[in-house]
């Protein structure tokens, strides 16, 4: 019996996947925990009697119980949680109202607005932060004034230019599509007769929304909160660009600071704190949903959707939504393009507009003589690295996702299937900067026959593949659930071996369903910063890390130009993939 079971293809695939997942997900976590308990060579400057490689709790005491605890842990933790909560609440408010207007009312151009509403997600999150700096930075910090000060002559206060407010506002514009997508799907499935019953009984619209509509979409709201909060908790780019100038540090920026300042154990401990918070939030989300007896909105007695008339506020609501989309999508791009054309960082006048930072040959007095981005060898190499990385990660993680889907669906109900599914989901619990720290901890040194991988393209690709397995795995499971088992059985009856049946039947049928995972990974990796920032070297730099480098050096024209290039590549990649998908479907 055991021999017959172990020979089944999905069982063999499950064990192979578990071995791979153990290597790329589980072992890095335990290695980082271990590295937080040992002395490192760089710790010699922190304490006496350091014995590199020996066991110690020094770093844990230093983080949790020392004079540095407030600055290193408590304040960054408070900043991380407060900004994540602020982003979640504002993003859910915007996304929730937009979802209700698009799905449940007679708002004009609802389908077009529904398509445009997801565009802010395509733009990398830190680009909203760079656009905010272009508009509101002041000359008291960094020396260069923003567009607002240039036009009005008024220097914005620091709390508008940097810190909590700009981080929350700029990131909410990036994350509200999560709530919109999840909530619009839930609102579409609500039978209008539930709300009509409230109206018949004389209830006001606000009461119906609060007592009928809102309780029925609690799972979607909780999911959007968890998705937004867990992502916002670990974001790095926006807190670094908007917080560091006023020493507004979060856990993610403290992790980067400790590791780059050669105190890796402290960075690993802070990464473990981030992982613990994210895991706890997701656990309680499952517990809360599990205690609710029913969220049923579609029953067997028929289903009807009736749009709510907006009346006099119909067109004012449309105007507000158009303004929202302009602020969230067009304004950041326009500001960044304008910044790329300025000869001096704080001079936005038309007479000083130039293409120097795009097509300049170099050798000038500007930007230390570097050539424009379209002529700059380092940037062109980073462009190729980004495209190569995005394609490699999307294709390989996509195929991994298909095999995960096959193993999970074919073994449904078994402990092995559940273990594969749960292990593949683990990277989602780890914020990007912390996941990068995991790989830095594990692959900096040689591990048995495996050489040190730090500085190689393989390591950067591996971390991107592992981090995106939760998305491609879910896409693979969804695709496999749609394929009937009788198709595979028919090929076996016809005498085909499992490999031929999988390649000729299962794989072609699952590719179209899994293509959404490919697109998502391509977009995610093209704009990835926090995940790979700790792992890249001059040979493996990508466009996002080049943006970070130039922004740090104060060359905002270069960083803005590269950001615009990233947006263009992502949009072209998505459109090309969708076009290929339509052709393959035909």
pLDDT score recorded for residue 190? 59
345-348: list long-range contacts, CB under 8 Å, 24+ apart: 345/144, 345/554, 345/556, 345/557, 346/139, 346/143, 346/144, 346/145, 346/146, 346/150, 347/150, 348/147, 348/150, 348/151
pLDDT score recorded for residue 298? 41
Q: Which residues contact 275 (CB under 8 A, 6 or more apart)?
A: 29, 429, 430, 431, 434
pLDDT score recorded for residue 197? 61
Binned at pLDDT 50, 70 and 90, residue 586 comes out as very low
Mean pLDDT, range 187-196, rounded to an integer: 58
Binned at pLDDT 50, 70 and 90, residue 296 comes out as very low
pLDDT score recorded for residue 471? 81
pLDDT score recorded for residue 12? 82
Report the mean per-residue pLDDT for the chain: 81
Lowest mean pLDDT across 7-16, 65-74, 82-91, 197-206: 197-206
Of 122, 470, 420, which is closest to residue 282 (Cα–Cα)?
470
pLDDT score recorded for residue 102? 85
User: Against a cut of 0.85, is the pTM above it?
Assistant: no
Binned at pLDDT 50, 70 and 90, residue 413 comes out as confident
Q: Which residues contact 365 (CB under 8 A, 6 or more apart)?
A: none
549: Cα within 13 Å, side-chain hemisphere: 16
């Amino acid at each position: 019996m055991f021999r017959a079971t172990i020979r089944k293809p999905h069982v063999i695939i499950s064990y192979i996947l578990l071995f791979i997942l153990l290597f790329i997900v589980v072992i890095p976590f335990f290695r980082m925990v271990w590295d937080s308990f040992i002395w490192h060579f760089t710790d010699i400057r922190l304490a006496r009697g350091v014995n590199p490689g020996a066991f110690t709790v020094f770093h844990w005491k230093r983080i949790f119980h020392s004079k540095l605890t407030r600055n290193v842990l408590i304040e960054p933790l408070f900043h991380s949680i407060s900004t994540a909560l602020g982003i979640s609440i504002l993003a859910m408010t915007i996304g929730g109202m937009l979802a209700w207007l698009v799905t449940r009312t007679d708002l004009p151009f609802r389908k077009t607005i529904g398509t445009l509403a997801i565009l802010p997600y395509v733009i990398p999150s830190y680009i909203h932060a760079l656009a905010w700096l272009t508009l509101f930075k002041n000359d008291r910090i960094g020396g260069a004034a923003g567009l607002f000060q240039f036009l009005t002559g008024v220097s914005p206060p620091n709390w508008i230019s940097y810190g909590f407010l700009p981080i929350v506002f700029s990131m909410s514009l990036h994350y509200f599509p999560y709530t919109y997508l999840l909530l619009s799907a839930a609102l579409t499935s609500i039978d209008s007769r539930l709300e009509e019953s409230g109206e018949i009984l004389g209830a006001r619209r606000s009461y119906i929304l609060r007592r009928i509509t809102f309780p029925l979409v609690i799972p979607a709201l909780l999911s959007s909160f968890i998705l937004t909060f867990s992502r916002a908790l670990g974001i790095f780019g926006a807190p670094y660009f908007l917080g560091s100038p006023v020493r507004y540090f979060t856990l993610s920026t403290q992790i980067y600071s400790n590791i780059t300042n050669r105190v890796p154990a402290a960075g690993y401990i802070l990464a473990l704190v981030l992982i613990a918070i994210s895991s706890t939030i997701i656990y309680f989300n499952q517990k809360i949903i599990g205690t609710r007896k029913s969220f049923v909105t579609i029953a067997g007695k028929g289903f009807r959707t009736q749009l709510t008339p907006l009346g006099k506020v119909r067109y004012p609501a449309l105007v507000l939504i158009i303004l929202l989309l302009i602020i969230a999508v067009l304004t950041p791009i326009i500001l960044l393009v304008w910044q790329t054309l300025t000869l001096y960082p704080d001079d936005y006048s038309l007479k000083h507009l130039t293409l120097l930072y795009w097509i300049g040959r170099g050798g000038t007095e500007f930007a230390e003589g570097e050539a424009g981005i379209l002529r700059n060898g380092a940037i062109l190499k980073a462009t190729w690295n980004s495209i190569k990385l995005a394609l490699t990660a999307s294709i390989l993680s996509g195929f991994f996702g298909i095999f995960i889907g096959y193993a999970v669906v074919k073994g449904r109900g078994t402990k092995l299937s559940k273990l594969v599914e749960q292990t593949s989901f683990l990277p989602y619990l780890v914020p990007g900067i912390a996941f990068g720290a995991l790989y830095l901890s594990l692959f900096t040194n040689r591990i048995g026959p495996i050489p040190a991988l730090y500085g190689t393209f393989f390591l950067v690709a591996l971390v991107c593949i592992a981090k995106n397995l939760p998305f491609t795995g879910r896409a693979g499971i969804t695709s496999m659930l749609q394929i009937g088992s009788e198709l595979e059985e028919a090929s076996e009856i016809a005498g085909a071996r499992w490999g031929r049946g999988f390649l000729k039947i299962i794989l072609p049928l699952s590719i179209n369903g899994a293509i959404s995972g490919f697109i998502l990974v391509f977009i995610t990796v093209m704009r990835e910063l926090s995940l790979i920032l700790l792992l890249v070297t001059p040979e493996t730099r990508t466009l996002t890390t080049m943006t970070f480098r130039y922004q740090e050096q104060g060359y905002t024209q270069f960083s803005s130009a590269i950001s615009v290039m990233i947006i263009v590549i992502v949009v072209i990649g998505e459109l090309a993939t969708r076009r290929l998908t339509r052709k393959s479907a035909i």
